Chains A and B, each alone.
Chain A
Amino acid sequence: AQKVTQAQTEISVVEKEDVTLDCVYETRDTTYYLFWYKQPPSGELVFLIRRNSFDEQNEISGRYSWNFQKSTSSFNFTITASQVVDSAVYFCALSEVLTGANNLFFGTGTRLTVIP
């Protein structure tokens, strides 16, 4: 069965600090997608990144970077030089291709608070 674990419930950092959000997943499928979403106080989920199971190349987008390691079933998210606007709940999610319905299985989220 699929499972996504975000062990960090809440994290607080001071502005300009770097912060890493952890995500560990479980799946029996060999083909799957991993996602990170941001949920600001307004409530909508904002798509940040997708990774497929065959692409372990790390990715950087501005202050955001993602480290995908199949060997440890982890897909961690790092924010460099954090800003107050980064304060939100961040969700890691898994989509299994072979089930056919491509629904997302979400972790419980990590609430990030960036203190000015």
Chain B
Amino acid sequence: EAGVAQSPRYKIIEKRQSVAFWCNPISGHATLYWYQQILGQGPKLLIQFQNNGVVDDSQLPKDRFSAERLKGVDSTLKIQPAKLEDSAVYLCASSLDFLAAQENGYTFGSGTRLTVV
């Protein structure tokens, strides 16, 4: 089974620029998560989708971050405008459903490493 695909792998932008990350979850996985991992810290949930609906976006800085999963498959996370503190690895994860996530954890992608200069 193919894993969670993310692109790009690396991105360097200047502050105040915009950037977008793409995630393609494992086929058939209804639940999709975006996590932010700042260097030296554990991942922190930004947003969770169930199919194309948002389940939890309480930690998403909505003034600059947005995410969508229009067809309930792949997802895009956008930052506009970026700040220096947004430098982090952005991880996408997916699970079959809520129960599967609790039973087996999520499957994570390799992440996109963003550097804001």
By a beta-carbon cutoff of 8 Å, the part of chain A in contact with chain B is: 4, 33, 35, 37, 42-47, 50, 52, 91, 93, 95, 97, 101-104, 106-109
Residues on A with C-beta less than 8 A from B40 are 108-109
Residues on B with C-beta less than 8 A from A97 are 102
**Most B CB within 10 A of own CB, among A45, A50, A93:** A45
**Top 3 closest pairs, chain A to chain B, by CB:** A106-B42, A47-B105, A45-B108
- Across the interface, A91 reaches (CB within 8 A) one of B3, B42, B89, B93, namely B42
Contacts known (A42-B110, A43-B110, A44-B111); A4 close to B104, Cβ less than 8 A: no
Q: Is the CB of A102 within 8 A of B101?
A: yes
Residues on A with C-beta less than 8 A from B91 are 44-45
Contacts known (A45-B91, A93-B42); A104 close to B106, Cβ less than 8 A: yes
Identify 16 new A-B residue pairs, CB closer than 8 A, beyond the known A44-B110, A106-B44.
A37-B108, A43-B111, A45-B91, A45-B93, A47-B104, A50-B102, A50-B103, A50-B104, A52-B102, A101-B55, A101-B56, A102-B98, A103-B33, A103-B48, A109-B40, A109-B41
Q: Give the shortest distance, in Å, between B75 (CB) and chain A (any CB).
A: 16
Size of interface on B: residues with Cβ below 8 Å to A: 27
Contacts known (A47-B105, A47-B106, A50-B105); A103 close to B42, Cβ less than 8 A: no
| CB neighbors of A among B10-58 (8 A) | 33, 40-45, 48, 55-56
In the bound complex, what is the Cα–Cα distance between A39 and B44 (angstroms)?
Answer: 15
Residues on B with C-beta less than 8 A from A47 are 104-107
Q: Is the CB of B33 within 8 A of A43?
A: no
In the bound complex, what is the Cα–Cα distance between A73 and B10 (angstroms)?
Answer: 38
Nearest A residue (CB) for B56: A101
Contacts known (A43-B110, A44-B109, A45-B91); A108 close to B102, Cβ less than 8 A: no
Q: Give the shortest distance, in Å, between B96 (CB) and chain A (any CB).
A: 12
In the bound complex, what is the Cα–Cα distance between A91 and B42 (angstroms)?
Answer: 7
Contacts known (A35-B105, A37-B105, A102-B98); A108 close to B33, Cβ less than 8 A: no
